[in-house]
Amino acid sequence: MRKLLIPLLALALMTSCGTAQVADGTSTHRVSEKSDKAFTNAYKMIKADELKKNLYVIASDEMEGRDTGSKGQKKAGEYIVNYYKNLGISFPKALGSYYQKVPSDFMKKRGGGNLPDSENILAFIEGSEKPEEIVVVSAHYDHVGTKNGVVYNGADDDGSGTVAVMEMAKAFQEAKKAGNSPKRSILFLHVTGEEHGLFGSEYYTDHPVFPLANTVVDLNIDMIGRDDPENRGKQYVYVIGSDMLSSQLKVINEEANRKTNNLELNYKYDDLNDPQQLYYRSDHYNFAKNNVPVAFFFDGIHEDYHKPTDKPDKIDYKLLEKRTQLVFTTAWDIANRADRIVVDHK
Protein backbone atom coordinates (compact mmCIF):
# COMPACT_ATOMS: atom_id res chain seq x y z
CA MET A 1 0.00 0.00 0.00
CA ARG A 2 1.16 3.51 -0.76
CA LYS A 3 2.58 5.45 2.18
CA LEU A 4 0.69 8.54 3.30
CA LEU A 5 3.00 11.45 2.57
CA ILE A 6 0.67 14.37 3.27
CA PRO A 7 -2.93 14.54 4.55
CA LEU A 8 -5.46 14.32 1.72
CA LEU A 9 -8.48 16.52 1.40
CA ALA A 10 -11.03 15.91 0.13
CA LEU A 11 -23.47 -14.68 -2.48
CA ALA A 12 -23.68 -15.95 -0.49
CA LEU A 13 -22.73 -19.58 0.21
CA MET A 14 -26.06 -21.44 0.03
CA THR A 15 -26.32 -25.06 1.13
CA SER A 16 -30.03 -25.89 0.89
CA CYS A 17 -31.67 -28.05 -1.74
CA GLY A 18 -33.78 -26.81 -4.59
CA THR A 19 -33.64 -23.01 -4.73
CA ALA A 20 -32.56 -20.46 -2.17
CA GLN A 21 -33.42 -16.86 -1.39
CA VAL A 22 -30.43 -14.49 -1.39
CA ALA A 23 -30.60 -10.92 -0.15
CA ASP A 24 -29.44 -8.23 -2.57
CA GLY A 25 -29.95 -5.14 -0.44
CA THR A 26 -33.38 -4.20 -1.80
CA SER A 27 -35.13 -7.46 -2.61
CA THR A 28 -34.30 -11.11 -3.19
CA HIS A 29 -33.32 -13.14 -6.18
CA ARG A 30 -33.39 -16.89 -6.64
CA VAL A 31 -30.31 -19.07 -6.90
CA SER A 32 -30.72 -22.48 -8.53
CA GLU A 33 -29.35 -25.68 -7.06
CA LYS A 34 -27.00 -25.95 -10.07
CA SER A 35 -25.61 -22.48 -9.46
CA ASP A 36 -25.31 -23.20 -5.74
CA LYS A 37 -23.27 -26.35 -6.39
CA ALA A 38 -21.07 -24.54 -8.92
CA PHE A 39 -20.31 -21.85 -6.36
CA THR A 40 -19.51 -24.35 -3.62
CA ASN A 41 -17.13 -26.31 -5.83
CA ALA A 42 -15.35 -23.14 -6.96
CA TYR A 43 -15.15 -21.75 -3.41
CA LYS A 44 -13.44 -24.93 -2.22
CA MET A 45 -10.70 -24.37 -4.80
CA ILE A 46 -9.32 -21.49 -2.71
CA LYS A 47 -6.75 -23.06 -0.44
CA ALA A 48 -4.15 -21.77 1.98
CA ASP A 49 -1.40 -24.06 0.67
CA GLU A 50 -1.84 -22.79 -2.90
CA LEU A 51 -1.76 -19.19 -1.73
CA LYS A 52 1.40 -19.98 0.21
CA LYS A 53 3.09 -21.68 -2.74
CA ASN A 54 2.55 -18.68 -5.01
CA LEU A 55 3.45 -16.11 -2.36
CA TYR A 56 6.79 -17.76 -1.61
CA VAL A 57 7.62 -17.13 -5.28
CA ILE A 58 6.15 -13.62 -5.64
CA ALA A 59 7.82 -12.41 -2.42
CA SER A 60 11.10 -14.27 -2.85
CA ASP A 61 14.48 -12.56 -2.85
CA GLU A 62 14.70 -13.46 -6.54
CA MET A 63 12.05 -10.80 -7.26
CA GLU A 64 14.26 -8.13 -5.64
CA GLY A 65 11.36 -6.33 -3.98
CA ARG A 66 9.41 -5.81 -7.24
CA ASP A 67 10.06 -2.07 -7.58
CA THR A 68 8.13 -0.47 -10.43
CA GLY A 69 9.67 -1.32 -13.81
CA SER A 70 12.55 -3.23 -12.27
CA LYS A 71 13.97 -6.53 -13.45
CA GLY A 72 12.56 -8.22 -10.37
CA GLN A 73 9.07 -6.86 -10.93
CA LYS A 74 9.12 -8.00 -14.55
CA LYS A 75 10.18 -11.46 -13.39
CA ALA A 76 7.25 -11.53 -10.96
CA GLY A 77 5.00 -10.41 -13.81
CA GLU A 78 6.22 -13.30 -15.96
CA TYR A 79 5.34 -15.71 -13.17
CA ILE A 80 1.82 -14.26 -12.93
CA VAL A 81 1.29 -14.40 -16.70
CA ASN A 82 2.52 -17.99 -16.91
CA TYR A 83 0.16 -18.91 -14.09
CA TYR A 84 -2.79 -17.61 -16.12
CA LYS A 85 -1.55 -19.33 -19.27
CA ASN A 86 -1.34 -22.64 -17.44
CA LEU A 87 -4.91 -22.21 -16.21
CA GLY A 88 -6.15 -21.45 -19.71
CA ILE A 89 -7.22 -17.92 -18.73
CA SER A 90 -6.55 -15.47 -21.54
CA PHE A 91 -6.25 -11.69 -21.80
CA PRO A 92 -8.80 -9.15 -23.04
CA LYS A 93 -9.04 -9.45 -26.83
CA ALA A 94 -9.05 -5.67 -27.21
CA LEU A 95 -5.69 -5.47 -25.43
CA GLY A 96 -4.02 -8.20 -27.46
CA SER A 97 -1.81 -9.48 -24.64
CA TYR A 98 -1.68 -9.78 -20.86
CA TYR A 99 0.32 -6.55 -20.62
CA GLN A 100 -0.87 -2.96 -20.62
CA LYS A 101 2.19 -0.73 -20.86
CA VAL A 102 2.36 2.11 -18.33
CA PRO A 103 4.84 4.56 -19.85
CA SER A 104 7.60 6.22 -17.91
CA ASP A 105 6.44 9.65 -19.13
CA PHE A 106 2.96 9.07 -17.69
CA MET A 107 4.41 8.38 -14.26
CA LYS A 108 6.99 11.16 -14.45
CA LYS A 109 4.30 13.77 -15.08
CA ARG A 110 2.59 12.61 -11.88
CA GLY A 111 5.64 12.77 -9.65
CA GLY A 112 7.11 9.38 -10.54
CA GLY A 113 10.65 10.69 -11.01
CA ASN A 114 12.66 8.59 -13.43
CA LEU A 115 10.75 5.34 -13.12
CA PRO A 116 11.16 3.13 -16.21
CA ASP A 117 8.29 1.86 -18.31
CA SER A 118 6.24 -0.74 -16.49
CA GLU A 119 3.15 -2.87 -17.09
CA ASN A 120 -0.24 -3.66 -15.68
CA ILE A 121 -1.19 -7.33 -16.09
CA LEU A 122 -4.73 -8.20 -17.17
CA ALA A 123 -6.36 -11.65 -17.26
CA PHE A 124 -9.95 -12.04 -18.33
CA ILE A 125 -12.87 -14.46 -18.16
CA GLU A 126 -15.73 -13.46 -20.45
CA GLY A 127 -19.25 -13.53 -19.07
CA SER A 128 -21.83 -15.89 -20.52
CA GLU A 129 -24.89 -13.60 -20.44
CA LYS A 130 -23.72 -10.02 -19.92
CA PRO A 131 -20.14 -10.03 -21.19
CA GLU A 132 -20.10 -6.26 -21.67
CA GLU A 133 -20.50 -5.72 -17.90
CA ILE A 134 -17.16 -6.01 -16.08
CA VAL A 135 -16.39 -7.00 -12.49
CA VAL A 136 -12.83 -5.95 -11.63
CA VAL A 137 -10.79 -7.73 -8.96
CA SER A 138 -7.56 -5.83 -8.43
CA ALA A 139 -4.29 -5.81 -6.51
CA HIS A 140 -0.92 -4.15 -7.07
CA TYR A 141 2.04 -6.43 -7.65
CA ASP A 142 4.82 -3.85 -7.19
CA HIS A 143 6.60 -3.13 -3.93
CA VAL A 144 9.48 -0.86 -2.90
CA GLY A 145 12.46 -2.81 -4.23
CA THR A 146 15.91 -3.18 -2.67
CA LYS A 147 17.57 -0.62 -0.43
CA ASN A 148 21.24 -0.68 0.51
CA GLY A 149 21.45 -4.25 -0.71
CA VAL A 150 18.51 -5.41 1.42
CA VAL A 151 15.44 -6.89 -0.30
CA TYR A 152 12.06 -5.56 0.81
CA ASN A 153 10.04 -8.66 -0.06
CA GLY A 154 6.56 -7.16 0.33
CA ALA A 155 4.91 -10.46 1.22
CA ASP A 156 1.85 -8.78 2.69
CA ASP A 157 2.17 -5.53 0.72
CA ASP A 158 0.91 -6.58 -1.71
CA GLY A 159 2.06 -10.09 -2.36
CA SER A 160 -0.95 -11.29 -0.37
CA GLY A 161 -3.39 -9.42 -2.60
CA THR A 162 -1.57 -10.56 -5.72
CA VAL A 163 -1.86 -14.25 -4.91
CA ALA A 164 -5.45 -13.80 -3.72
CA VAL A 165 -6.43 -12.46 -7.16
CA MET A 166 -4.62 -15.37 -8.80
CA GLU A 167 -6.40 -17.91 -6.59
CA MET A 168 -9.81 -16.37 -7.27
CA ALA A 169 -9.13 -16.50 -11.00
CA LYS A 170 -8.44 -20.22 -10.66
CA ALA A 171 -11.75 -20.71 -8.84
CA PHE A 172 -13.74 -18.84 -11.50
CA GLN A 173 -11.93 -20.75 -14.25
CA GLU A 174 -12.76 -24.10 -12.65
CA ALA A 175 -16.43 -23.08 -12.55
CA LYS A 176 -16.25 -22.09 -16.21
CA LYS A 177 -14.66 -25.43 -17.17
CA ALA A 178 -17.52 -27.18 -15.37
CA GLY A 179 -20.02 -25.26 -17.53
CA ASN A 180 -20.73 -22.45 -15.05
CA SER A 181 -19.19 -19.32 -16.51
CA PRO A 182 -20.01 -16.11 -14.64
CA LYS A 183 -22.85 -14.12 -16.19
CA ARG A 184 -20.73 -10.99 -16.19
CA SER A 185 -17.11 -10.79 -17.27
CA ILE A 186 -14.33 -10.81 -14.67
CA LEU A 187 -11.16 -8.76 -15.12
CA PHE A 188 -8.27 -9.83 -12.91
CA LEU A 189 -6.19 -6.68 -12.77
CA HIS A 190 -2.64 -6.60 -11.38
CA VAL A 191 -1.49 -2.99 -11.37
CA THR A 192 1.97 -1.49 -11.19
CA GLY A 193 3.29 1.71 -9.63
CA GLU A 194 1.00 1.75 -6.61
CA GLU A 195 3.77 2.42 -4.13
CA HIS A 196 4.97 5.46 -6.05
CA GLY A 197 1.55 7.05 -6.57
CA LEU A 198 -1.22 4.67 -7.72
CA PHE A 199 0.14 5.05 -11.25
CA GLY A 200 -0.94 1.73 -12.75
CA SER A 201 -4.56 2.02 -11.69
CA GLU A 202 -4.66 5.65 -12.77
CA TYR A 203 -3.30 4.66 -16.17
CA TYR A 204 -5.90 1.92 -16.49
CA THR A 205 -8.80 4.22 -15.59
CA ASP A 206 -7.45 6.90 -17.95
CA HIS A 207 -7.02 4.26 -20.69
CA PRO A 208 -9.59 1.59 -19.81
CA VAL A 209 -9.64 -1.59 -21.86
CA PHE A 210 -13.36 -1.77 -21.11
CA PRO A 211 -15.51 1.36 -20.73
CA LEU A 212 -15.75 2.53 -17.15
CA ALA A 213 -19.47 3.01 -17.72
CA ASN A 214 -19.67 -0.78 -18.09
CA THR A 215 -17.51 -1.47 -15.05
CA VAL A 216 -19.79 -2.74 -12.30
CA VAL A 217 -17.40 -2.74 -9.34
CA ASP A 218 -13.76 -2.82 -8.29
CA LEU A 219 -12.96 -5.19 -5.44
CA ASN A 220 -9.45 -4.15 -4.48
CA ILE A 221 -7.14 -6.19 -2.27
CA ASP A 222 -4.10 -4.59 -0.66
CA MET A 223 -2.57 -6.42 2.34
CA ILE A 224 -4.77 -9.24 3.64
CA GLY A 225 -2.22 -11.68 5.08
CA ARG A 226 -1.45 -10.28 8.55
CA ASP A 227 -3.07 -8.60 11.54
CA ASP A 228 -2.41 -5.21 13.09
CA PRO A 229 -1.78 -4.53 16.80
CA GLU A 230 -5.37 -3.34 17.31
CA ASN A 231 -6.75 -6.69 16.12
CA ARG A 232 -4.03 -9.13 17.12
CA GLY A 233 -5.28 -12.69 16.90
CA LYS A 234 -8.74 -11.76 15.62
CA GLN A 235 -10.52 -13.18 12.58
CA TYR A 236 -11.24 -9.87 10.89
CA VAL A 237 -10.70 -7.70 7.84
CA TYR A 238 -11.03 -3.98 7.27
CA VAL A 239 -13.51 -3.17 4.51
CA ILE A 240 -13.21 0.37 3.20
CA GLY A 241 -15.52 2.32 0.89
CA SER A 242 -18.15 -0.36 0.32
CA ASP A 243 -21.07 2.02 0.86
CA MET A 244 -19.53 5.20 -0.53
CA LEU A 245 -21.12 4.89 -3.98
CA SER A 246 -23.59 1.99 -3.81
CA SER A 247 -26.18 1.17 -1.17
CA GLN A 248 -26.05 -2.50 -2.25
CA LEU A 249 -22.36 -3.34 -2.22
CA LYS A 250 -21.87 -3.28 1.55
CA VAL A 251 -25.01 -5.39 2.05
CA ILE A 252 -23.85 -7.95 -0.52
CA ASN A 253 -20.41 -8.20 1.08
CA GLU A 254 -21.88 -8.58 4.57
CA GLU A 255 -24.20 -11.34 3.40
CA ALA A 256 -21.29 -13.08 1.68
CA ASN A 257 -19.37 -12.89 4.94
CA ARG A 258 -22.26 -14.13 7.07
CA LYS A 259 -22.75 -17.19 4.90
CA THR A 260 -19.04 -18.08 4.70
CA ASN A 261 -16.36 -17.46 7.35
CA ASN A 262 -18.17 -14.78 9.35
CA LEU A 263 -15.12 -12.61 9.83
CA GLU A 264 -15.34 -9.44 11.86
CA LEU A 265 -15.80 -6.67 9.27
CA ASN A 266 -14.14 -3.53 10.57
CA TYR A 267 -15.29 -0.21 9.08
CA LYS A 268 -12.96 2.03 11.06
CA TYR A 269 -11.38 3.55 7.97
CA ASP A 270 -14.68 4.51 6.36
CA ASP A 271 -14.40 7.61 8.54
CA LEU A 272 -13.02 10.14 6.08
CA ASN A 273 -11.69 12.15 9.02
CA ASP A 274 -9.42 9.27 10.06
CA PRO A 275 -5.83 10.54 9.89
CA GLN A 276 -4.67 7.55 7.83
CA GLN A 277 -7.00 8.57 4.95
CA LEU A 278 -6.94 4.99 3.62
CA TYR A 279 -9.86 5.43 1.24
CA TYR A 280 -7.51 7.50 -0.94
CA ARG A 281 -4.39 5.37 -0.60
CA SER A 282 -4.84 2.29 -2.77
CA ASP A 283 -5.85 1.52 -6.32
CA HIS A 284 -9.60 1.34 -5.80
CA TYR A 285 -9.65 5.12 -5.46
CA ASN A 286 -8.96 5.64 -9.16
CA PHE A 287 -12.13 3.65 -9.89
CA ALA A 288 -14.13 5.41 -7.19
CA LYS A 289 -13.28 8.86 -8.50
CA ASN A 290 -14.76 7.67 -11.82
CA ASN A 291 -18.02 6.70 -10.08
CA VAL A 292 -17.36 2.94 -10.03
CA PRO A 293 -18.42 1.32 -6.72
CA VAL A 294 -15.48 -0.08 -4.78
CA ALA A 295 -14.65 -2.16 -1.75
CA PHE A 296 -11.09 -2.19 -0.41
CA PHE A 297 -10.00 -5.19 1.70
CA PHE A 298 -7.11 -4.56 4.10
CA ASP A 299 -5.52 -5.98 7.25
CA GLY A 300 -4.16 -2.79 8.81
CA ILE A 301 -0.79 -1.14 9.44
CA HIS A 302 1.41 -3.71 11.18
CA GLU A 303 4.95 -3.54 12.48
CA ASP A 304 6.53 -4.86 9.27
CA TYR A 305 4.78 -2.43 6.92
CA HIS A 306 7.31 -1.15 4.34
CA LYS A 307 10.15 -2.91 6.13
CA PRO A 308 12.45 -5.70 4.93
CA THR A 309 10.82 -7.93 7.56
CA ASP A 310 7.57 -8.16 5.55
CA LYS A 311 8.36 -11.76 4.60
CA PRO A 312 6.22 -14.74 3.55
CA ASP A 313 6.94 -16.75 6.71
CA LYS A 314 4.99 -14.15 8.72
CA ILE A 315 1.75 -14.53 6.76
CA ASP A 316 -1.28 -16.14 8.43
CA TYR A 317 -2.20 -18.36 5.49
CA LYS A 318 -5.44 -19.67 6.93
CA LEU A 319 -6.67 -16.14 7.52
CA LEU A 320 -5.48 -15.18 4.04
CA GLU A 321 -7.57 -18.07 2.70
CA LYS A 322 -10.68 -16.88 4.57
CA ARG A 323 -10.31 -13.30 3.40
CA THR A 324 -9.77 -14.45 -0.19
CA GLN A 325 -12.89 -16.60 0.06
CA LEU A 326 -14.86 -13.56 1.23
CA VAL A 327 -13.80 -11.45 -1.74
CA PHE A 328 -14.47 -14.36 -4.09
CA THR A 329 -17.97 -14.86 -2.69
CA THR A 330 -18.72 -11.16 -3.09
CA ALA A 331 -17.41 -11.19 -6.66
CA TRP A 332 -19.41 -14.33 -7.48
CA ASP A 333 -22.64 -12.73 -6.30
CA ILE A 334 -22.08 -9.49 -8.18
CA ALA A 335 -21.07 -11.32 -11.35
CA ASN A 336 -24.09 -13.62 -11.31
CA ARG A 337 -27.03 -11.54 -10.03
CA ALA A 338 -29.81 -10.57 -12.42
CA ASP A 339 -29.21 -6.80 -12.25
CA ARG A 340 -25.95 -4.89 -11.85
CA ILE A 341 -25.53 -3.16 -8.52
CA VAL A 342 -26.77 0.39 -8.32
CA VAL A 343 -24.71 3.57 -8.10
CA ASP A 344 -26.92 5.71 -5.89
CA HIS A 345 -24.52 7.61 -3.62
CA LYS A 346 -22.21 10.48 -4.49
Q: What CA–CA distances, in Å, run from 15 to 32, 128, 260? A: 11, 24, 11
Candidates 322, 177, 137, 108; CA nearest to 236 is 322
Q: Distance between terminal CA atoms of the chain? A: 25
Compute the distance between CA of residue 241 and CA of residue 279 in angstroms, rounded to an integer. Answer: 6
Higher pLDDT, 216 or 17: 216
Compute the distance between CA of residue 304 and CA of residue 228 in angstroms, rounded to an integer. Answer: 10
pLDDT category, 346, cuts 50, 70, 90? confident
pLDDT category, 26, cuts 50, 70, 90? very low
Q: What CA–CA distances, in Å, run from 58 to 65, 122, 141, 293, 327? A: 9, 17, 9, 29, 20
In this prediction, residues 158-167 reach a mean pLDDT of 98
Contact yes or no for 283/198 (Cβ under 8 A):
yes
pLDDT of residue 4: 57
In this prediction, residues 106-112 reach a mean pLDDT of 97
pLDDT of residue 24: 40
Give DSSP secondary structure letters for 126-143: --SSEEEEEEEEEEE---
Tens-digit pLDDT profile for residues 298-343: 999 999 999 999 999 999 999 999 999 999 999 999 999 999 999 9
Contact yes or no for 47/317 (Cβ under 8 A):
no
Tens-digit pLDDT profile for residues 282-293: 999 999 999 999
